[in-house]
Amino acid sequence: MTGIISTLKRLIHVGEADLSVEQRINHWLKNAKRILTLVNANPALSAATLHIDNDLPKGTQQLLLLALFGKLCRFNDHYLQHVLASILATLWLSDSNTPRDTIPDVLRFLRKHNLAVWLDTIKLQKAFRGEKHSQYIADSRLNLAQRLCLLAGVFANGKKKADYKIVFSRVAVRLPAHHRHHLSHLIPLFNGLLPGAKVYAEGVPGALVDIQQNHGFVFMLSKDDEDGKWLPLSSISAPVSLSLPFEHFVALYTDTAHARVNQGGSPFLPSTFAIQHPPKALITIIDELQKRDVVIDELCEKIQKVPTFNHFLIHTASQDNRLQLPVKSIKQAVLTYGIERVGDMLIQFALLERLTQNQFPLMGMCKQITLLACSFASHFAQVADSKFTPQSAALTMTFICTPLFTLPGFKVSQSLPVDLTKTVSINNAFKVKTDTTWLAIASELAGSWHQSSTWRAVIHQCGKLSSDVPKSIQKEQAILVLSFALTKACLFDQNIYSLLQDTKVKTLLNILGIKHEDISAALESNGHLLFCPLAV
């Protein structure tokens, strides 16, 4: 128990005075990673600091709570790590012992490396110096990360921990309307019981040690000599708001570690799904689709077992049929599209779900690029005589856009580093540091998601001039390259006329047999996607 508390007290370490600027930045990032790892594995410890008086440093409490708030708001881990590190940097800058002559070098490094996330937090220095963070939290100029930094500071510096629910209610009504919906992710913290609370369960007094989404682990007296057990939260009550001393809670948390191991159940923090592989339910559907003689009823049965797939197909089929008649069954939806197209649609839906599961500043922009590029690819697949169906073209384009969501450089930037000099180059469309080429990342992921060797070959060929691409897949390559180039021009350059005069683009149009009127039709049909979302 003393080991955990001493570890918590030593979480913040600003680093030795003789560190270079780059070493100092990396030191803060490593510290932030330790904090994030701790909260990922033990959210109960962080949640307990919200309502239990303790002697942890205020900065430590703020970082633990910020990590918890960020995870509940589904911040991407890499992005959240940088936000936490920026708090460490701000604490260092505000420290009276920090040599003033070293500060300009740190700020220059952050600007040079486009670490706007850090600079945003450093702007809050004045707010962090005092204890009245709530004075600044309602400012409409703040982004969500800045607001969560201040919110964590409000509770870390609160004099009466027991009033945390009242404080949250007062803060919530002051927030600007465009950020209030994010509070819904934090409500479980303030609307229920927290680890460390004294409770009643099964008519016996006990202590709540850990929580999941629907269950709590209660330590209580038992005839069976148990260390405690998981019970539905609905069966646990606290008639009076009381809590254990923090040291006692940590001791209980440590002693019950083995007993709390639970197979199944929903964890308290939102689940994150790996992007590298498709969900198991989708693999069984893909396997079913690849059979020579697909049994429609068996396929529909497997799709129906996944509610999100079920809802998506029925809704999309209702919108896509010519008369927009409501589709009421999965079988009807499958017959509307055909077996091959249904498979592509489900894979794209599952892939986009995973790519967009966690938030970072450029999420809206990256999603917009992907949707527009997919829509263009789908449109040109219908116009040109190619092997692509509209659905397979959109799916293959989604794989090409995946680096927007997976490369770390995009997680901490607030503007996309677009290279407008590279008109039709996908590999060099953005100035971002990566050890692997853009298309190699896309092709590898496509293989992991059981895509055919043909479509993976098309992705690979997108790095070449269309005249050097084998005739068998030349049109498909041209569709993808043209769609990507047109998307970039629409969202960043706005000069479609100049793009169409480019000799490389003219070659693409000739290969596909597409005229300028077809480009105009594509732009008109996708007018609803031709906007750049602003970060809020």
Which pLDDT does position 536 carry in this prediction?
A: 41
Helix runs in 329-389, H state only: 330-337, 339-355, 363-383
Range of the domain at 385: 360-535
Q: Which helix (H) or strand (E) holds 524?
A: helix 516-525
Distance CA 179, CA 202 (A): 40
pLDDT in tens, 59-89: 999 999 999 999 999 999 999 999 999 999 9
Mean pLDDT of 52-59: 92
Assigned domain for 124 exists: yes
pTM to 2 decimal places: 0.90
Which pLDDT does position 50 carry in this prediction?
A: 95
**CATH number for the domain harbouring residue 206:** 2.30.30
Assigned domain for 336 exists: yes
Domain boundary among 357, 392, 424: 357
In terms of domains, do 282 and 343 share one? yes
Domain boundary among 149, 170, 191: 191
In terms of domains, do 447 and 346 share one? no
- 137 neighbors 103 (Cβ within 8 angstroms): no
In terms of domains, do 127 and 156 share one? yes
Of the ranges 31-35, 93-97, 226-230, 262-266, which one carries the lowest mean pLDDT score?
A: 262-266
Question: In this model, does residue 291 exceed pLDDT 80?
Answer: no
Question: In this model, does residue 237 exceed pLDDT 90?
Answer: yes
In terms of domains, do 352 and 367 share one? no
- 78 neighbors 117 (Cβ within 8 angstroms): no
Distance CA 96, CA 98 (A): 6
Q: Which of 329, 346, 438, 344 is nearest to 390 (CA)?
A: 344
In terms of domains, do 27 and 161 share one? yes
In terms of domains, do 394 and 529 share one? yes
Assigned domain for 263 exists: no
- 469 neighbors 461 (Cβ within 8 angstroms): yes
Which pLDDT does position 532 carry in this prediction?
A: 61
Q: Which helix (H) or strand (E) holds 232?
A: strand 229-232
Which pLDDT does position 131 carry in this prediction?
A: 64
Which pLDDT does position 423 carry in this prediction?
A: 84
What is residue 207's three-state secondary structure? strand
Question: How does residue 325 score in pLDDT terms, banded at 50, 70 and 90?
Answer: low
In terms of domains, do 224 and 325 share one? no
Question: How does residue 263 score in pLDDT terms, banded at 50, 70 and 90?
Answer: low
* Number of domains within the chain: 4
In terms of domains, do 323 and 430 share one? no
Question: In this model, does residue 98 exceed pLDDT 70?
Answer: yes
Mean pLDDT of 483-497: 89
In terms of domains, do 398 and 525 share one? yes
Assigned domain for 243 exists: yes
Q: What percent of the chain has pLDDT over 70?
A: 96
Tokens of 450: 């059981």
Assigned domain for 384 exists: yes
In terms of domains, do 84 and 143 share one? yes
In terms of domains, do 386 and 281 share one? no
Assigned domain for 271 exists: no
Assigned domain for 250 exists: yes
Mean pLDDT of 128-149: 84
Which pLDDT does position 207 carry in this prediction?
A: 95
String of b and e for 111-136 (b: at least 16 CB within 10 Å)?
Answer: eeeebbbbebbbebeebbeeeebbeb
In terms of domains, do 171 and 34 share one? yes
Mean pLDDT of 32-43: 94
Which pLDDT does position 221 carry in this prediction?
A: 78
Distance CA 224, CA 229 (A): 11
What secondary structure letter does DSSP report for 490?
I
Assigned domain for 262 exists: no
pLDDT in tens, 412-461: 888 888 988 888 899 999 988 888 999 999 999 999 998 989 999 999 99
Domain boundary among 333, 357, 381: 357
Helix runs in 194-338, H state only: 246-255, 280-289, 296-304, 307-320, 330-337
Distance CA 530, CA 491 (A): 7
Mean pLDDT of 472-480: 96
pLDDT in tens, 506-533: 999 999 999 999 999 999 998 888 876 6
pLDDT in tens, 158-169: 888 888 999 999
Distance CA 104, CA 118 (A): 14
Question: How does residue 130 score in pLDDT terms, banded at 50, 70 and 90?
Answer: low
Mean pLDDT of 224-241: 87
pLDDT in tens, 342-399: 888 999 999 999 999 999 999 999 999 999 999 999 999 999 989 999 999 999 999 9
